[in-house]
Structure 1
Amino acid sequence: MNEYMIPSYFFAHGAPSIVLDQNAYTAFIKKFTASTPKPKAIVLFSAHWEQSMQTISAVDTYSTIYDFSGFQDELYQMTYPAKGERSLSDQIQSLFSKQGIQSEMDEERGLDHGAWAVLKLIYPEADVPVVALSVNRYLTNDQQYQIGRALSELREQDVLIIGSGGTVHNLRRLNWQGEGNDEWAESFDNWLQSKLETWDVDALFNYRELAPYSKEAVPTNEHFIPLLLAMGAGDKNRQAKLLHRSYQFGNLSLSCWQFN
């Protein structure tokens, strides 16, 4: 067995235009591979693929989904034709089954912008096989964590597990012309950082009641779920490290967390 365990990661995907942006966060993502060994495959949970049952992609080559409107024309010309990896999809279903997690395969769906916009910045050549996984906003936070934990052994097989979402993601509160960071957004993220770094899962699972400005930061939880999924995959060693945090439009958080 490989003694090295590749970390799992949470990446905020911000607005769909992130793939065209030139800022501190996109510069960070583009340099990500310089310090990370190239994985055998990528398993990615996207906030934009919601299913009532845990669903596992099992495609040969992904189409590109443009699940947004009103952005630059260039975005609609981009593609990310990553290959799937059916044997890995089967292995994931087996790992879920061992933990009593029901799942099903999807042989048609392409990659939404929560997946391809981030992956295009990390591996622009689309030369790493990808297995996309859905999220379910109606599970408890503990159940989300356990789904990630069920996949943790994949890290020993050079599989990169990514959760793609956003810790502060409230489109109604965005300040499109504003500069600087909103205090309430930073307050929530600071609380979150303290709980992640101490691996305080009890507090994290109850963030809605305990965290300052939780309702403003997380009006709906689908973008927060990928953080818990990526964290669960790091349950063995329980070490969390904030690699980057900045904001767009006053409060749209652009952060990356590493879980060892």
Structure 2
Amino acid sequence: MMPSLFIAHGAPSLALEENAYTEFVQKLGQEMPKPKAIVLFSAHWESNTQLVSSVSGSYDTIYDFGGFQPELYQIKYPAEGHAETTAEVVKRLTEAGIPVQTDDMRGLDHGAWVVLRLLYPEADIPVVALSVNRYLTGEQQYQIGKALVSLREQDILVIGSGGTVHNLRRLNWESTGVDSWALEFDSWLQDKLERWDTDALFAYDKTAPSAQAAVPTPEHFVPLLLAMGAGDAKKQASLLFRAYQLGNLSLSCWKFE
């Protein structure tokens, strides 16, 4: 059975960087069994209704950022959609009572293609992109992921792309270390994930230390709960990698069995 993964996408410039994290993600893609398809929730596709991509043919590459290196705007990630997987996702969500609509126009934003390009640079695995809804409860997010557990038995890789500590206003451009509050939050998070303490995780904004600093808005945290929900069969979480940039921007990867 394929795992589900949470993968931090960092800043868009991660696509051009060579560091321990990019090397890790590249190696992860090489070492995992090759999936039949990828289902990916991106923090940068927000919608109040659950949207599922039904793109036919190759995705456009969306440059949903500004002020970065010119080379970034030349990158293409022409992964193709997958009608069979789209239909399966829609079926599973509908059976779980989750309202869902399809979208046949939207390309892949940087929350999707930065991660996918590191994992599978040849863009040779079909992708179905899904939106996130920041206004749902933690339990509702988890249930969306849980509805997709059976996809993993079909060799489909489920990915949540976001960031556990993601506060652009608190970035420290001069820092060479890690801010204590970021470590405090991620340490709390690690404990709760490894214990599969969903009660605490669903109320992270009230119970976690430094939660407001680490997660000023929830859209980047939501993909973690979605990926975790897709791991509900075994309820086993493993931290594969964690590092930080600019003092507190977390680059982490979690695997859910």
Task: Tell me the TM-score normalized by structure 1.
Answer: 0.98
Map Cα deviations across residues 30-51 of structure 1 (whole Å, 9 max, x no partner). Answer: 1012320000000000000001
**Match of residue 144, structure 1, among 133, 141, 144:** 141
Q: Report the Cα offset of residue 176 of structure 1.
A: 1.5
Match of 1:46 among 38, 42, 50: 42
Higher mean C-alpha deviation, range 24-33 or range 237-246: 24-33
Which residue is equivalent to 2:86?
89
> Counterpart of 1:130 in structure 2: which amino acid?
V
In the other structure, the counterpart of 2:150 is 153
CA distance in 1, matches of 2:241, 2:43: 20
Please say if residues 30 and 119 of structure 2, whose CA atoms lie closer than 8 Å, have aligned partners that are also in contact: no
Aligned residues: 256
* Alpha-carbon distance, 1:22 to partner: 1.4
TM-fit CA distance, 1:75: 0.3
CA distance in 2, matches of 1:27, 1:94: 36
What do you get for the CA RMSD once the two structures are aligned?
0.5
Residue ranges of structure 2 left out of the alignment (5+ in a row): none
| In 1, Cα distance between equivalents of 2:240 and 2:10 | 16
One-letter code aligned to 2:163: G
Separation in 1, partners of 2:219, 2:153: 28
Shift of 1:177: 2.3
The alpha-carbon deviation at position 91 of structure 1 amounts to 1.1
- Displacement, 1:87? 1.4
Task: Name the SS of the counterpart of 2:145 in structure 1.
Answer: helix
The AA in structure 2 aligned to 1:251 is: N
* CA-to-aligned-CA distance 1:220-257 (integer Å, 9 cap, x gap): 00000000000000001000000000000000000000
Following the alignment from structure 1 to structure 2, what is the Cα–Cα distance between the partners of residues 231 and 202?
13
Match of 1:172 in 2: 169
Aligned to 1:31, what secondary structure does the other structure show?
A: helix
- How big is the shift at 1:68? 0.2
For structure 1, list consecutive stretches of 5 or more residues without a partner in the other structure.
none
Report percent identity of matched pairs.
Answer: 64
Structure 2 partner of 1:211: 208
CA distance in 2, matches of 1:109, 1:13: 19
Describe how 1:197-236 pairs up with structure 2 within 5 A: 197-236=194-233
Query: Which TM-score applies when normalising by structure 2?
Result: 0.99
Look up the match of 2:7.
11
Q: Which amino acid in 2 is paired with 1:27?
A: E
